Amino acid sequence: MTTTVNFPASVIRLDNGLTLIHQEMSATPVVVADVWVRAGARAEPAEWAGMAHFLEHMIFKGTDHLPPGVFDYAIETQGGMTNAATSHDYAHFYMTIAADTLPQTLPYLADLLLHAAIPADEFGRERQVVLEEIRQAQDDPDWLGFQAMSELVYQNHPYGRSVLGTTEILQQRSPEEMRCFHQAHYQPHNMTVVITGGIPLDQTVEMVKHAFRTFPAAPPCPAATIAPLPLAQGVHREVLSLPRLEQSRLCMAWVGPGIKQLEAAYGLDLLAALLAEGRSSRLVRELREDRQLVQDIAAGFSLQQDCSLFTIQAWLEADHIDRVEAIICDRISELTATPIPEPELVRAKRLLCNDYAFSTEAPGQIAGLYGYYGTVAAPDRCLTYVPIIQGYEEAHLRQLAAQYLTPLRYVSTILRPA
């Protein structure tokens, strides 16, 4: 095995290819075990869209040796909690438990992840649960708007598909196909186990080695096709008229850099804070506080493996949409052309660095941070966030805005009451 140094946590690659990240926090009696797998929606062939998220549900339906419900019972009777999530770039499964009960409960989690039985009867029942999730999502105007925007931005790239999949596709899937997807992707080279909290390293290594020792053989499985990202030209607008919608939405989106360009990605995070983080930010102050053209407005940057998404979203009356969109375009142009006042830049940096500090206090937060970066990049890359943010100069930031945020090339999705 090999060990990575110069990092608060120990990063150990086991002989079978599994990565273990461990950080002891002796002051807490709690442990978080968070297992990350490079098996999100990005790994699905288009004809299996939704398989990764559906599998997340089926993982908890037991194995040949662990009946459904036993894992949940074992965690809950110890006062612990467990959950899971699926994104385009990953799936992860985590539990929070008293440190002294980890030796009894970690083998259960490992058994579920490595040897999920995916029984046909449970598959049919749980498919109805997933289909209901899709129906609920389609009743959510914000979800509909985001999905329409994603399809415009990404087109045939997997990021343009919903993680939930579609009713039509999921109705055609079989337990055999899911077992194939599971066994092909839930392999040690795709998996990172993060353990944080009140447990020492030596004990953790032996525990993980034992629990994650028997992976199934990987079968041949249809591979995902990663279409090249389209080079957007001009402005693309789409208007959706939705029944029962009380307030219009305007969402504008730009494609940003992916995980291989972290410095630029963090700069866009800083630009989002400058534009719409807090009452004194540019767009909030002008459009909400002064002109009262919007009920609210926010900007965000979503970091992803292949490429990321910079968005500005406003909640407003339909009559103001065109005017607000034009003002946002003007302010973005001004951002690239006019020096950013130092106090404004210092404020945005402080907000982001404080948010980062507050998000790294608890074992679960730290486990999530290490697991995410360990899955899409390298775990120690998370430590570069604050130094990069603090080191940004206004001229470099304006160059970044000119490169990625232009009023001449973006996607605009508008939701109006029908």
Predicted confidence at residue 37, as pLDDT, reads 98
Please give the average per-residue pLDDT across 168-197, as a whole number. 98
The predicted-structure confidence for 101-133, as pLDDT tens digits, reads as follows 999 999 999 999 999 999 999 999 999 999 999
The CATH architecture that domain 235-417 belongs to is 2-Layer Sandwich (3.30)
Alpha-carbon span 140 to 143, nearest angstrom: 5
Cα dihedral sign, 354-356-361-365: positive
The predicted-structure confidence for 40-59, as pLDDT tens digits, reads as follows 999 999 999 999 999 999 99
Give the pLDDT band of residue 296 (cuts 50, 70, 90).
very high
In angstroms, the Cα distances linking 59 to 28, 53, 178 are: 29, 10, 11
The encoded tokens of residue 401 equal 């805005």
Are 308 and 268 within 8 A, CB to CB? yes
Predicted confidence at residue 227, as pLDDT, reads 82
Are 221 and 180 within 8 A, CB to CB? yes
Predicted confidence at residue 229, as pLDDT, reads 79
Alpha-carbon span 315 to 247, nearest angstrom: 7
Alpha helices in 186-306 (DSSP H): 201-211, 262-276, 282-283
Domain positions in the chain: 2-211, 235-417
Residue 2: pLDDT above 90? no
The predicted-structure confidence for 17-41, as pLDDT tens digits, reads as follows 999 999 999 999 999 999 999 999 9
Predicted confidence at residue 228, as pLDDT, reads 83
Task: Evaluate whether 2-211 and 235-417 have a shared fold.
Answer: yes
Residue 249's DSSP bridge partners are 315, 415
The predicted-structure confidence for 326-347, as pLDDT tens digits, reads as follows 999 999 999 999 999 999 999 9
Predicted confidence at residue 233, as pLDDT, reads 78
Please give the average per-residue pLDDT across 353-373, as a whole number. 96
pTM: 0.94
Predicted confidence at residue 395, as pLDDT, reads 96
The predicted-structure confidence for 237-283, as pLDDT tens digits, reads as follows 999 999 989 999 999 999 999 999 999 999 999 999 999 999 999 99
Predicted confidence at residue 232, as pLDDT, reads 67
The predicted-structure confidence for 390-414, as pLDDT tens digits, reads as follows 999 999 999 999 999 999 999 999 9
Predicted confidence at residue 7, as pLDDT, reads 87
The predicted-structure confidence for 66-98, as pLDDT tens digits, reads as follows 998 899 999 999 999 999 999 999 999 999 999
Other beta carbons less than 10 A from residue 339's beta carbon: 9
Options 3.30.360.10, 3.30.830.10, 2.40.50.100, 3.40.50.2020; CATH for 2-211 is 3.30.830.10
Predicted confidence at residue 88, as pLDDT, reads 98
The predicted-structure confidence for 151-166, as pLDDT tens digits, reads as follows 999 988 999 999 999 9
Give the pLDDT band of residue 196 (cuts 50, 70, 90).
very high
Please give the average per-residue pLDDT across 185-206, as a whole number. 98
SS3 of residue 250 by DSSP: strand
The predicted-structure confidence for 248-258, as pLDDT tens digits, reads as follows 999 999 999 99
State percent of the chain over pLDDT 70: 98
